[in-house]
Amino acid sequence: MTALRTPVIAGNWKMHHDPASTRLFFERFLALHAPRTDLTVIVFPPTISLEAARLVVGERADVQLGVQNVHWESAGAFTGEISADMAMAAGARYSLVGHSERRQLFGETDADVARKTRAVLAAGLTPVVCVGETLEERRAGRANDVVDRQLSQVLEAVLDASGLVIAYEPVWAIGTGETASPDDAQAMHASIRAQLASASNAAIPILYGGSVKPQNTATLLAQRDIDGVLVGGASVDPQSFAAICATDA
């Protein structure tokens, strides 16, 4: 990892923790995790729990909050959706975009992800854009082509790529207990890095996501082009998430 890119530890809670359990989580996590200036910590609670998280985190500038999804429109008749502007006003500073579950379960297309990325940037939030291949695509030798296609649409949609964070999530490793080998993860991150270099001179962070645990975080962060991790299930527990955050990068 180069010194230009500050390590990022991000936790995606998915559909876990109501406001009451969110408060309890942060009370425990903040007691375990001392403030650090050499690390960015981001938590993505369910939107309904964002306010509870914001109140407990308070002035801890080392812990940032985000939302798991936004609509690409700023307002309108979109029942059940929130806009990036709403998320910003509620205290979010980041937004996940294009998580594999949004793509796989809710039918989001590459074009949808590009539109959402543009909306997130316009609202002043930082998009964490998720890309990754399925097991079938990897077995067919198409992993790089798939990730290149997903990322290309985003890069074509934004005027300045320097405001992005990218998360590589091999779909076959999410919630399965399987993790890409350090060499495989590094190879894909290097490929993404090369693609980003043609679009921006900025040192854009690239995170790895997929069954990240305290036991494998150090090995992943030791890879040259892995700048951090996007944690799923292990981020829901304050002790395991604090252990991941304590890993030397």
Q: Which residue numbers are catalytic? A: 99, 169
Q: What are the backbone angles phi and psi of residue 164, rounded to the nearest 5°?
A: -95, 155
Strands (E), 110-154: 126-131
- Amino acid (one-letter) located at 71: H
37-53 core/surface letters (b: 16 or more CB in 10 A; e: else)? eebbbbbbbbbebbebb
Name the residue type at position 176. Answer: T
In order, the DSSP letters of 184-208 are: HHHHHHHHHHHHHHTT-SS---EEE
What's the chain's length in residues? Answer: 249
* Residue closest to 146 by CA, chosen among 128, 161, 130: 130
Please choose, from the candidates 219, 234, 168, the residue with its C-alpha nearest in 3D space to the C-alpha of residue 243: 234
- Both tokens assigned to 107: 């039918």
Largest separation between any pair of C-alpha atoms in the chain: 48
Report helix angle 110-122 to 143-157, nearest 10.
40
